[in-house]
Amino acid sequence: MTEWKARRFWTKATVAPCDGGWQVLLDGRPVLTPGKQPLRLPSHPLAEAVAAEWDAQGEVIAPLSMPLTRAANSAIEKVAPQFDAVADILASYGATDLLCYRATAPAELVQAQAQAWDPLIDWAQDRYGIELTVTQGVMPVTQPAPTLAALRARLDPLTPFQLTGLHDLVTLPGSLILGLAVYEGRLDAEQAHGLARVDEDYQASVWGADAEAASAAAGRLQAMRDAERLLQLLRD
């Protein structure tokens, strides 16, 4: 049986103001989310970028080529109705942050982690007035309760769209600190991705690169770039 695929039915995508922001129109008809909610976008640059994704579609719609549209759908349908739960999930990465767990050997990896991650630990402590406990090995370490509370409180002022953008920047590298560093402009997505790969890059230097792992890493990097772009369009 041939799989059904959605096909292009419009000629031109445009944007227009609406209550609560901006909307994308396909030949004058507003785009809805998959759950049939209005696709209200909080900034004009984001609306223009989403419209460009729709205009770029060929005869058959390719959802994977529309990361901003998919993120907007998630912000409206998934994040907004359960904002606190999503924020709790992201905050939990601060309790087991990648940057706080260091190797015990070999010396080259220990040094590489320290050089890459110590500046971000220092930045986070200064930026948020917190203390982060760094340990060697994989045994869990308990972060101070005030630290976890301060990191969780940092997420409360965000909008559902901002929290959606932050999601991949935290979950893909496994680090709340790296995600916040991109959100705050301390790093860009490519730098954060590279810092999250210190261990993998060391192993590749010793044992050689793995094509499948490299492909997966490239996918994560692109997702982080898409998330960073969403946040930039929300600011413009």
Domain membership flag for residue 127? yes
Question: Does residue 111 share a domain with residue 224?
Answer: yes
- Collapse the DSSP code of 11 into the 3-class scheme (helix H, G, I; strand E, B; otherwise coil) and give the result: coil
Whole-number pLDDT of residue 3: 56
Check: CB of residue 67 under 8 Å from CB of residue 168: no
Question: CA end-to-end span of the chain, whole Å?
Answer: 46
Residues 25 and 106 in one domain: no
| Whether 131 and 27 share a structural domain | no
- State how far the Cα of 36 lies from the Cα of 33, in Å rounded to an integer: 5
Q: Is the same domain home to 34 and 105?
A: no
Q: Is residue 24 included in any domain, yes or no?
A: yes
- What is residue 139's DSSP assignment? S
Residue 160 sits in the same domain as residue 202: yes
The pLDDT, as a whole number, for residue 209 is 80
* CB distance 5 to 61 below 8 Å: yes
Are residue 15 and residue 92 in the same domain, yes or no? Answer: no
Q: Look at residue 20 in the predicted model and tell me its pLDDT.
A: 85
Q: For residue 165, which of 78, 230, 97, 121 has the smallest C-alpha distance?
A: 230
Q: 29-30 and 21-26: which strand pairing? A: antiparallel
Note whether 117 and 207 are same-domain residues.
yes
CATH code for the domain of 32: 3.30.2180.10
3-state class of 101 per DSSP?
Answer: strand
The answer to whether position 73 is within a domain reads no
If asked whether residues 125 and 178 sit together in one domain, one would say: yes
Tens of pLDDT, residues 52-94? 999 999 999 999 999 999 999 999 999 999 999 999 999 999 9
What is each CA distance from 196 to 57, 139, 180, in whole angstroms? Answer: 33, 19, 13
Torsional class of 17: left (φ above 0), alpha (ψ -120 to 50), beta (otherwise): beta
Please report whether residue 143 resides in a domain: yes
pLDDT score recorded for residue 210: 85
**Which residue, 174, 163, 172, 160, is CA-closest to 223?**
172
Q: Identify the three-state secondary structure at position 16.
A: strand
Which pLDDT score is estimated for 1? 43
189 and 220 share a domain? Answer: yes
State the Cα–Cα distance between residues 160 and 78, nearest whole angstrom: 9
One domain for residues 121 and 201: yes
pLDDT confidence of residue 4: 54
Give the whole-angstrom CA distance, residue 234 versus residue 164: 11
Q: Are 56 and 121 in contact (CB under 8 A)?
A: no
* Residue 71 covered by a domain: no
Asked whether 228 and 182 are in contact (CB, 8 A), the reply is yes
Please list the residues that pair with 25 across neighbouring strands.
14, 30
Domain assignment of residue 95, given as a range: 81-235
Is 70 a domain residue?
no
29 and 100 share a domain? no
The answer to the question of residue 171 being in a domain is yes
Q: Which residues of the chain have pLDDT under 50?
A: 1-2
